[in-house]
Amino acid sequence: MTEAELAAASELPWMRVVLVGILLWLVHLWMRRLTDRLPEGAAMRRRLLRWLPLAVAVSAGAYVLWVVYVSFSWDRTLARIVMTVVLVTAVAAIWPVVADVVAGVVLRASGSCDVGDRVRVGPIAGEVVALELRTTHLETDDGERIIVPHRRLVTEPMIRAPKDEVVSHAVRLPLPEGIDAERARERLLRIAGEHHGVSVARAPTAIVGEGHVTVTFFLVLPEARASVERALREGLAALDASDPQS
């Protein structure tokens, strides 16, 4: 190839790049206006609002790669190297988003979490009301909505209470002599509520009687009944009548 041909081949075809860019922008603008014209609550509108940002990002990324390829069309090897660098950089920049999407696929495929379940991840607890593309939406008992990235539910320990899959159990515990009944009740409720085998969907209850406390808890793991009872008895026995903080 002569120097003149190489120079001509290396010139960036600005007209084609600009025209394709304008066409892409017009398509994005048309999709946005189409979304705005659809009625509120329409299924098509919800789908477009959910997928439009992803479609814009993918098409813009493809456009950038194409511009790079055209820019270095005079040297295909160099073009591939630059495209690879751009692609790796883009993936690294959006890796948290990719990780959330993949984690969402894992959650759905494994059945680890579903709408209607009650889950607890660290200090966060609530009912699953939606599984979006990147996030899980939880509604707390106070009516607040918490948005949790999917990958947190996959990478951190999660306590799950499937809907309609709990077994109630009650145990009657004698009160140690000299122990304040209200202190004992609060201690037992805390122990039952923090046990991994007890449902987070239905809070345990404790009723103080004459010389005893009856604790009712709801098991998501029926085999954990003995473990919960043992923890309650040990916690009650550990109360010190002389220490109001125990």
Q: What is the pLDDT of residue 242?
A: 44
Where are the extended beta strands (E) located within 74-185? Answer: 118-121, 124-131, 135-139, 145-149, 158-161, 167-174
Q: What is the pLDDT of residue 108?
A: 77
Low-confidence ranges of the chain (pLDDT < 50): 1, 241-244, 246
Q: What is the topology classification, in CATH, of domain 167-237? A: Alpha-Beta Plaits (3.30.70)
Q: What is the pLDDT of residue 125?
A: 80
Q: What is the pLDDT of residue 161?
A: 65
CATH architecture of 112-161: Roll (2.30)
Find how far residue 194's CA is from the centre of its chain.
22
Q: What is the pLDDT of residue 139?
A: 85
Q: What sign does the CA torsion over 38, 57, 155, 108 have?
A: positive
The two tokens of residue 208 are 């103080």
Q: What sign does the CA torsion over 160, 164, 166, 170 have?
A: positive
**Alpha-carbon distance 222 to 228, whole Å?**
10
CA angle 8, 12, 17 (to 5 degrees): 140
